[in-house]
Amino acid sequence: MNTGLDQYMDIFKDAVEDSAAKITKNFEKILIEVIILFMVIPRKINFTQMGRYGLHVEQTYRNAFGLKKSKCIDWLKLNVSLAKHFLGKQGRWAIAIDPSYISKAGKKTPHIGRFWSGCAQSVKHGLEIMGIGLIDID
């Protein structure tokens, strides 16, 4: 029985193959784990957090995404390959990103921090939400 996570991993593996990225099996496993960790880790995502929540230690993630190794993947091709899986093989797309600042006083609110407010043209104390969308123009 396939779970949603299994389906997500299969989609990502297909996207890696379609992007023609030449990566090792070990790096592919770590990359898939990192993509899953991006959905799981609360607040900021860094190698320390990945070591805390993931299956490997922090140094493994640092080594896997070192300067030379991270350049072996064409991230644009990988993202386009993922988009093609959901939108089809042909067409034109646009990426929409909408960060929004929410004013919030207090110190006990989870994920509170300092974020850019476009209206005030300065950094403000509060929360931030972000909407990201892939739009099929055709």
Q: What pLDDT is attached to residue 55?
A: 92
Transcribe 35-81 into DSSP letters: HHHHHH--S---HHHHHHHSSS-HHHHHHHT-HHHHTTS-HHHHHHH
Domain boundaries of the chain, sorted by first residue:
4-87, 93-136
pLDDT tens, residue by residue, 75-119: 777 777 777 777 776 777 788 888 888 887 777 777 788 888 878
Mean pLDDT of 42-64: 90
The number of angstroms, rounded, from the C-alpha of 50 to the middle of its chain's C-alpha atoms is 13
CA 101 to CA 103: how far, in whole Å? Answer: 7
